């Protein structure tokens, strides 16, 4: 009997997991349930990811898609650059770029990674438009368009992000994600406009952070030559941030509100100009969430169910490890599932428990690094003192 697996969510982690499982020599059937209506529903979302050798890249290797990855990833040395400045533009840290050394953490746009993984799966693997609304106490998967008995699957894997319905079913008494104290505005700028207002000159080909008065303005280059920008501000609660966002009413007022907030804190004109050229239809604003450290991501094992990626351990993007950690989840879980014999329920249960224990331990230092970075980015003090605290984290780049 083949192993029947359901994956809820077709993000990069769920897709990576499905591809590795279907590529394994074991007899495994995989069905992905994804709320998006089609593969093209989110083609304008997200920035660029840098994949690390033992996590994201190792998972890509396990998918057998490395050649396709290499065709769209950016290995050129400039992509490894990282610059930190004050809100006045003074450089306080710049990672040296070796022009003769390819980037060891190659960059790939989220859109390109998702396309690569989608194209690596049979079209029948994914059920589009399958929005999971809840899971009944008996395990019935309640979708917007009908229910499915989960007992037809040997394992249901939640890969649907921070507000995972699978997690709520597995750990109903465990606290969910908490507000991280930060709201973010994501914006994109065309290559032409980036050149016109100096973004190209400031960010160059890598990642750029400006820090000042508990505000952050960050930017990164995309494959298209466009730039993705991120404005991050501290807020007392997620409700406060949502209220500000919703009160603006439209994208232009939202952009103007953020710009005025940065202007009031004395940011240099060169950075304020970034807001003037953003593509309004690209803007997204949302509060950031995380699991409490050190055990917020831990749950009591439930037979027949597990989690990967943000559903297991959502954190802020301030260490750049969320997708890498999630893809490592996919690799570790698939490695254990691929060695199982047919129909051995106890072996399956033991394999999933082993994966969970490994993941719980592996994520603690990553979560701590992310929390440390967040505390540094939004601390009172000078950018020089903040960057000094970040030196250990920056060494990995």
Q: What is the pLDDT of residues 97-149, one digit of tens each?
A: 877 778 889 999 999 999 999 999 999 999 999 999 999 999 999 999 999 99
Residue with the two structure tokens 């709201």:
183
**8 Å CB contact between 211 and 87:** yes
330, pLDDT greater than 90 = yes
- Residues present in the chain in total: 397
d(CA 378, CA 215): 6
- CATH number (domain holding residue 213): 3.30.9.30
Q: What would you measure as the largest C-alpha separation in the chain, in angstroms?
A: 66
Q: Which residue bears the tokens 């190792």?
A: 58
How confident is the model at residue 340, as a pLDDT? 87
Q: Alpha-carbon distance 212 to 380, whole Å?
A: 9
Q: What is the pLDDT of residue 391?
A: 66
241 lies in some domain: yes
Of 4, 261, 54, 48, the C-alpha closest to 155 is 4
Phi, psi torsion values for 288, nearest 5 degrees: -90, 145
Q: What pLDDT is recorded for position 122?
A: 97
Domain count for the chain, please give it.
2
Residue 30: strand, helix, or coil? strand
From 289, 316, 341, the end of a domain falls on: 289
Domain end (from 289, 314, 345)? 289
User: 218: pLDDT confidence band, cut at 50, 70 and 90?
Assistant: very high
Assess whether 367 and 220 both reside in one domain: no
Domain for residue 93, yes or no?
no
pLDDT 10s digits, 49-84: 999 999 999 999 999 999 999 999 999 888 888 899
Asked whether the bond before 294 is cis by omega within 30 degrees of 0, the reply is yes
Full-model pTM: 0.95
Domain that holds residue 203: 179-289
pLDDT digits (tens, 9 = 90+) for 352-384: 999 999 999 999 999 999 998 898 889 877 677
Range list of H helices, the chain: 12-23, 56-63, 66-72, 110-119, 165-170, 191-196, 199-203, 238-248, 251-264, 269-276, 310-313, 322-337, 345-377, 383-394
The answer to whether residues 33 and 171 belong to one domain is yes
pLDDT higher for 206 or 44?
Answer: 206
In whole angstroms, what is the distance from residue 361 CA to residue 225 CA? 39
Are both 171 and 261 inside the same structural domain? no
pLDDT one-digit tens code per residue, 309-327: 999 999 999 999 999 999 9
Q: Which residue has the tokens 């984290």?
A: 393
What kind and span of H or E run contains 187? strand 178-189
Same domain, 219 and 144: no
Strands, E, within 193-307: which ranges?
A: 207-212, 215-221, 227-234, 284-290, 305-307
Higher pLDDT, residue 383 or 94: 94
Task: State residue 194's pLDDT score.
Answer: 97
Average pLDDT over residues 33-43: 89
In a domain, 395, yes or no: no
φ and ψ at 320, to 5 degrees? Answer: 65, 30
**pLDDT at position 397:** 60
Same structural domain, 171 and 203:
no
Q: Per-residue pLDDT for 42 more than 90?
A: no
pLDDT at residue 44 tops 80: no
| Final residue of a structural domain among 289, 317, 332 | 289
Are 231 and 352 contained in the same domain?
no
149 and 17 both lie in a single domain:
yes
Write down the mean pLDDT value for the chain.
93
| Residues 274 and 227 placed together within one structural domain of the fold | yes
C-alpha 73/C-alpha 88 separation (Å) is: 32
pLDDT of residue 80: 82
Residue 377 token pair: 């980015």
Tell me what the mean pLDDT of segment 239-259 comes to: 96
Same domain assignment for residues 215 and 357: no
Give, in order, the Cα–Cα distances in Å from 106 to each of 74, 229, 306, 345. 5, 19, 30, 39
């Amino acid at each position: 009997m083949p192993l029947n697996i359901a994956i809820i969510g077709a993000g990069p982690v769920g897709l990576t997991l499905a591809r590795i499982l279907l590529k394994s020599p074991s007899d495994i059937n995989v069905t992905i349930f994804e709320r998006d209506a089609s593969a093209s529903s989110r083609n304008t979302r997200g920035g660029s990811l840098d994949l690390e050798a033992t996590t994201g890249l190792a998972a890509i290797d396990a998918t057998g898609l490395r050649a396709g990855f290499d065709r769209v990833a950016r290995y050129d040395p400039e992509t490894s650059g990282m610059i930190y400045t004050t809100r006045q533009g003074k450089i306080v840290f710049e990672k040296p770029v070796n022009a003769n050394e390819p980037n060891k953490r190659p960059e790939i746009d989220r859109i390109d990674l998702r396309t690569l993984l989608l194209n690596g799966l049979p079209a029948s693997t994914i059920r589009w438009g399958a929005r999971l609304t809840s899971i009944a106490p008996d395990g019935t998967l309640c979708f917007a368009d009908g229910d499915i008995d989960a007992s037809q699957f040997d394992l249901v894997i939640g890969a649907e992000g921070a507000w995972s319905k699978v997690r709520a079913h597995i750990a109903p008494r465990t606290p969910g994600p908490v507000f991280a104290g930060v709201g973010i505005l994501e914006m994109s700028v065309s290559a032409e406009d980036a050149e016109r207002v100096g973004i190209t000159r400031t960010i160059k080909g890598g990642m750029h952070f400006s820090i000042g008065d508990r505000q952050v303005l960050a930017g990164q280059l995309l494959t298209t030559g466009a730039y993705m920008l991120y404005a991050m501000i501290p807020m007392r609660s997620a409700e406060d941030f949502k209220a500000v966002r919703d009160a603006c009413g439209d994208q232009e007022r939202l952009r103007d509100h953020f710009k005025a907030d940065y202007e009031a804190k004395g940011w240099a004109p060169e950075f304020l100009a970034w807001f003037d050229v953003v593509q309004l239809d690209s803007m997204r604003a949302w509060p950031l969430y995380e699991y409490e450290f050190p055990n917020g991501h831990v749950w009591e094992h439930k037979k027949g169910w597990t989690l990967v990626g943000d559903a297991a351990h959502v954190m802020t993007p301030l260490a750049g490890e969320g997708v890498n950690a999630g893809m490592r989840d996919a690799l570790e879980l698939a490695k254990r599932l691929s060695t199982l014999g047919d129909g051995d329920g106890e072996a399956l249960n033991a394999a999933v428990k082993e994966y969970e224990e490994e993941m719980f331990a592996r994520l603690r230092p990553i979560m701590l690094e992310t929390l440390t970075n967040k505390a540094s980015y939004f601390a009172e003090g000078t950018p020089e003192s903040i960057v000094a605290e970040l030196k250990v984290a920056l060494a990995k780049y």
